[in-house]
Amino acid sequence: MAKLWFAQEGSDPTLGAPAYDNLRLEQCIDQLGLTKKHWLHGLNRIPTFGRPSDLPREPRHAVCQVDEPEASDEAWMAGFYLLEISPEEVAKRLGPPEVG
């Protein structure tokens, strides 16, 4: 299953749990426009955006985390993918986030 994180600028991009947990990869593709070209890097590090001093600190990025089992089943690479839509647009398409 995929997870979707809302990330902010700086060296500590996420806090707490993912905004959406247990998403199907097909759901991310169909509802959020996820494609393989959105791949950032593998699961070995957390994606960061901007510099630590950058503002604002509210989430500005939507990042999909695809873990190994689902990636392998669907011929994708496990890792983090940066969506081309905002956290606000994600919430419009999926409904309110599951957590904070």
For residue 33, CA distances in Å to 42, 50, 51, 69, 81 come to 20, 24, 27, 21, 11
Mean of the pLDDT values across residues 66-95? 92
pTM of the model: 0.86
Q: For residues 4 and 18, is the Cβ–Cβ distance under 8 A? A: yes
The confidence score (pLDDT) of residue 98 equals 79
- For the stretch 50-86, what's the b/e string if a residue is b when 16 or more beta carbons lie within 10 angstroms of its beta carbon? eeeeeeeeebbbbbbbbeeebbeeeebebbbbbbeee
Position 15, amino acid: L
Q: Which of residues 85 and 70 earns the better pLDDT score?
A: 85
Q: Residue 45: helix, strand or coil by DSSP? A: coil
Strand order in the sheet with 61-66: 20-23, 2-7, 61-66, 79-82, 39-41
Q: What's the burial of 14, exposed, middle or buried (CB within 10 Å: 0-12/13-18/19+)?
A: middle
Does residue 13 register a pLDDT over 80?
no
Does residue 43 register a pLDDT over 70?
yes
Q: What does the mean pLDDT of the chain come to?
A: 86
pLDDT band at 52 (very low <50, low <70, confident <90, very high): low
pLDDT band at 49 (very low <50, low <70, confident <90, very high): confident
